[in-house]
Structure formats: structure tokens, C-alpha cells
Structure 1
Amino acid sequence: MSLPSRPAFARPRLLIVGCGDVGMRLLPLLAGRFRVFALTSQPERCAELRAAGAVPVIADLDRPASLARLRTLAPWVLHLAPPQPDGDTDRRTRHLVAALGEVRRIVYVSTSGVYGDCGGALVKEHRPVAPKNGRARRRVDAERILRAWALAAGATLSIVRAPGIYAADRLPLRRLEQGTPALRPEDDVYTNHIHADDLARIVMLALVRGRPGRLYHAVDGTRMKMADYFDAVADTVGLPRAPRLPRAELARVVSPVLLSYMSESRQLDNTRLARELRVHLQYPDVATALARLRR
């Protein structure tokens, strides 16, 4: 889906904070509708961002003094930047909201990890958060900070909670090539998925259709356990399937970070995504995406 194009002088200014892979996929969707500014801490990315249609803004969320220009830059904001990799609070989001001026609309991309382990249950957006690790606690902190800031600033906030993001160039090939083991079926966990192109489209629609203060699950219709996903990818690309191990044995051979992902089981409901944002996914499930790769 594309938004109606506007003359350059009539385009509202929009700031993308964290213009990585998903942000770059967003830029073509926003072209002609917004004048887009992209925050980057890497000067060497300026040419890439300009070529994609964005105006680079060199600043660093870890250095609050560098963010002064943001105060009057744009009334529309897409916050895609992850927290810093340590602690239980998101210092980057705190620095960002302290720097922003009059913002009309902001969309934040969070993570489904905020729910913690749900025992494989179907999860709707009203389920209370229960983060089990620092990574998820930082995301919960960011959501809370943004809600409080938006209320005080009179801005409209929507939050998109995304699960595992995949694409043709974002598949677990290295893990399969290294033979990293997976859980046996009786110990395995349900995981959730969204194609990076569909996530970009969801973020765009949340920007223009999202309700104030609303949460949305950016997830496709896949109902699949983690090892089954690895098997499907392996079969598609012609790699050996991962060996299966009991949880106690696997815990001795994988990293704590990987084990944390393999210790949380949930199935995200995406009814609100279709009903309110009217999203039509290009990749409605993992099987569809992998089938297209085989063509």
C-alpha cells in the first residue's frame, strides 16, 4: 500500500530514530508523503540515507548533547532504536524524549519479549507485561517513559510490539551452518514471526491509522515452534536440520542469551492489526515466504 503523494512544500516533517534495516524498508513507503529526516550516529551512512530519500541527521542517543537539533526538527516521529545493551532502563529513550519538542504523532517499535513466558498461550494486547530479562525490562521501561511523555506533551503515541523479524537476508543460516542444537518437541517453545517488509508496512499504517495509546502486535499468522521454524529454513536452503536436545542438555551448550529466547513460549494474537490498521500482509506466514524463496 502507498500513501497519497503531496507536493514537497506541503509534506509534514518526519523523523526516523533508528534507521536500520526496517527503517530503510520504510523509506520508499514514506516517499512523497513526508519529508523524512533520519537520525544516525554514523557519518559514513549519510550518502546511503540521502540516496534512499532521507535527510541525514548526525546525532547519538548515547550522547544527549548531540540531540539538541531534534527539538524543532519534526512533529512526526518513528522510534525504531533499540535500548542500550545493559541495565533495566532505556537511557536512549529517556534522552530522546528529553530532546523532543512539539511532537504531534509518535510510533514506537517495541518487542513481544515484554510478555515473558506465557506457556504457549494465545496472547492479546491487554495481557500484563512480565519481562524476564534485562533486554525485555528495558523495552518495558521505554514504553512507560513514552506513555508518560506523550500524555504530558499532548502527543499521540502508538506502540507496535514486534516478534522475531525475518527476511531473505535475515534467516538463521549461520546457526544452521554451525549445527547449533534446538529443543526436542516436548520441550520446544512457540515463537512468533513477521517479515521485515511487512513490519515496515505495519509501522507506516500505525503512523497514519493507529489509535492514541494503542498497542498492536506486528505478527503474522504462523503457529510454529522454534525448532520447526529452523527445520523449515534448513529444508528451504538445503542445509542440515539442527539436532534436537532435551532442555537440560541444551542449556549446557548454548549461550545464556540464546537460552533466554528458548525459554519463552507464546502465540501472539493479531486480530487488532487487521481490524484497526487494516493491514494485508504480503507474507501471511513463514511458509508463504519460504515458498517464494524456493522459486
Structure 2
Amino acid sequence: MDKRLLSIGHGYSVRALAARLVPEGWHIVGTTRSEEKLAQIAATGVEPLLWPGNDITPLIQEFPNILISAGPGPDGDPVLAHLCDAFRQAAPTMRWLGYLSTTGVYGDHQGAWVDEQTPLSPSTKRGAARVVAEAAWQAIPDLPLHIFRLAGIYGPERGPFAKVRNGTARRIIKEGQVFSRIHVEDIALGLELSLERPMAGAVFNMCDDNPAPPEDVIGHAAELLGMPVPPAIAFDQADMTPMARSFYAESKRVRNDHIKQALGWSPIYPDYRTGLAAMLAKLR
């Protein structure tokens, strides 16, 4: 297998993937729009590249594996806006292309289960933008596309412990609200398995086995820290940013059976309890 990967938008989830691949001899080029992050990326063994700013068309033609984690903005998908022609030309010879999407494409199902066959009916602008972006990538002929719909991501530096410790954590209560989640290391594992076993055209949900109300996660984090459980606040009385409030516009349970059967993926952290316990052990 050709161990070269171009990571366009080398963010949190892809850094976890790189931590698995670099020790295995992979050559990874990771793009960022921030000059301040170039040194941070280089320190992980990944070759950093500023984009936009440099022409990455030759890399698209050269690298057999490409991962897109840059999300759509107000003007649509930023990668396709600048590089669609390059991907069309490279598609026939490309080995694997991954696109990180979100389970927000399914919209609100009032706590019911969804899978990859569920019709896409986003209820937020972010979800709608992802549906458009997915369709645009799927429209490129011969592209070995793999879409990964990620649930709520947590992991080191992205968890409830800091907020519980500094007293800013809140248990927002909205009746019937439930979310699916995934630990960042489980995302990395799934991407690595997909790289090893390409399945062009595949769409995979990536989430753990235990959808749960958000207040349960905050409460459990406090218990692990030996601190008081934050008081409950009714959703309609909570002071929240529009972004935070939008997450509560959708309630669903996401199935992960397809990626388990297709790739043999099994989450390292099958529920938030095991994930939080591992995070706290590392912090200590």
C-alpha cells in the first residue's frame, strides 16, 4: 500500500489519525490556513503546508490517498470551490478519498434511531450545508469517495472536565433530548481501517454504542472528579449562544452497524463512561 496521505484541513480528528499512521511509516502532508499552526503540525511528524496560500494541485495529482476535513462555509465547500477541476482530473487514478461529514445531515428524529439509509432532512443551516457538500463530492465521476458522518466528537482537550472544574459546566435539561457521540481515537481507528480496505462509494456513520442525554455526561464527569454535580437548568430558561442552542434542535440515536460489519471496526470507547474514564486517567 502506498503510504502517502494528503490531509486538507488538518484538524483535531485527523491529528489523531496521524498519531496512528506516522509511526507506521506514512508520509502525511497536512494543510492549515493558520501560519501559527504550522510548527504544531510539524512537531507531530506531519509535513505542514499553508492552504490557501500554496498551490496543492500537484499534490492532488500525486497523492493516492486524500482526506478532506475542511467543512463548508457561507460560500459552500471551500475545497471544491478552489480545486474541483483538480479532483475531477485526478479521480480515475486516486486510491482513496475520505470526506468527514456529520450526523447532522439526518436532522431531528425526536430520539428515534437513524442509519445510513435514513433520508437526509437537516434541520440546521450547518446540516443543510453538509448535505449540499456531500452531494457535490458524490457528483465527481470516478472519485473513490468515502463519507464518514461523525457524531459529537470528544476526547483529549475536548471534554467536560475543564468546565466542571472551573464551575462553568451546566446540565441543560430538555425532555427527550439524546445525542450520539464518538471519541476521537475511534474516529482515527475507523479511518485507518478504511484506508486499509477501500470501499469506493461507502457512507459510514461513526458513533459509539450508547446515545445518551447531555446532562448525564456532565453529571458523570463531575462524579469522576469527585465534585458536586452541576445543577439542572431547564432548556427554555438557559442562557445559550445561538450555536449552542442549535445543537438542541435535533434529537436522535445513530446506528453504527454498517461500519462494524464492513470494516470490522469496534469502538475502543463504546460509551461515554469508558471514554471519560480514559481521558481522566491521562490527565492524571
Task: Assess same fold via TM > 0.5.
Answer: yes
Corresponding residue for residue 3 of structure 1: none
Corresponding residue for residue 84 of structure 2: 97
C-alpha separation in 1, matches of 2:36 and 2:96: 29
C-alpha separation in 1, matches of 2:12 and 2:195: 18
CA contact (8 A) 2:61 2:86 kept: no
Out of 242, 253, 263, the position equivalent to 1:256 is 242
1:24 correspondence with 2:15:
yes
- With normalisation by structure 2, the TM-score equals 0.86
- Where does 1:1-295 land on structure 2 (aligned, <5 Å)? 11-31=2-22, 32=24, 34-60=26-52, 66-84=55-73, 86=74, 89-100=76-87, 101-102=89-90, 103-149=94-140, 152=141, 154-173=142-161, 175-176=163-164, 177-179=166-168, 181-184=170-173, 187-250=175-238, 253-293=239-279, 295=281
The residue identity in structure 2 corresponding to 1:37 is: V
CA contact (8 A) 1:188 1:226 kept: no
CA contact (8 A) 1:209 1:276 kept: no
Change (3 A) 1:59 1:30: same
- Give, in angstroms, the shift of residue 293 of structure 1: 4.4
- With normalisation by structure 1, the TM-score equals 0.83
- Give, in angstroms, the shift of residue 294 of structure 1: 5.1
SS in 1 for 2:122: coil
Change (3 A) 1:291 1:42: closer
CA contact (8 A) 1:217 1:270 kept: yes
The residue identity in structure 2 corresponding to 1:193 is: R
Change (3 A) 1:140 1:178: farther
C-alpha separation in 2, matches of 1:255 and 1:97: 34
SS in 1 for 2:195: helix
CA contact (8 A) 2:105 2:121 kept: yes
Kindly provide the CA deviation profile for residues 112-153 of structure 1, in whole angstroms up to 9, marking residues without a partner as x: 11111111001111101111121111111111111001xx2x
C-alpha separation in 2, matches of 1:275 and 1:184: 35
SS in 1 for 2:139: helix
- Uncovered stretches (5+) of structure 1, i.e. residues with no partner: 1-5
Q: Using the TM superposition, name which of 71-80 and 91-100 deviates more.
A: 91-100
Alignment RMSD: 2.4
CA contact (8 A) 1:13 1:73 kept: no
The residue identity in structure 2 corresponding to 1:209 is: R
Change (3 A) 1:260 1:178: farther
C-alpha separation in 1, matches of 2:223 and 2:275: 13
C-alpha separation in 2, matches of 1:293 and 1:16: 26
Kindly provide the CA deviation profile for residues 16-60 of structure 1, in whole angstroms up to 9, marking residues without a partner as x: 111122222111322345432212223343333333232222222
The residue identity in structure 2 corresponding to 1:288 is: T
Kindly provide the CA deviation profile for residues 177-232 of structure 1, in whole angstroms up to 9, marking residues without a partner as x: 454543336x1411111111111111122223242212111111113111111111
SS in 2 for 1:158: strand
C-alpha separation in 2, matches of 1:133 and 1:179: 26
- Uncovered stretches (5+) of structure 2, i.e. residues with no partner: none
C-alpha separation in 2, matches of 1:294 and 1:172: 10
CA contact (8 A) 2:155 2:279 kept: no
C-alpha separation in 1, matches of 2:145 and 2:121: 22
The residue identity in structure 2 corresponding to 1:21 is: Y
How many residue pairs match? The answer is 275
Change (3 A) 1:220 1:157: same
C-alpha separation in 2, matches of 1:284 and 1:24: 21
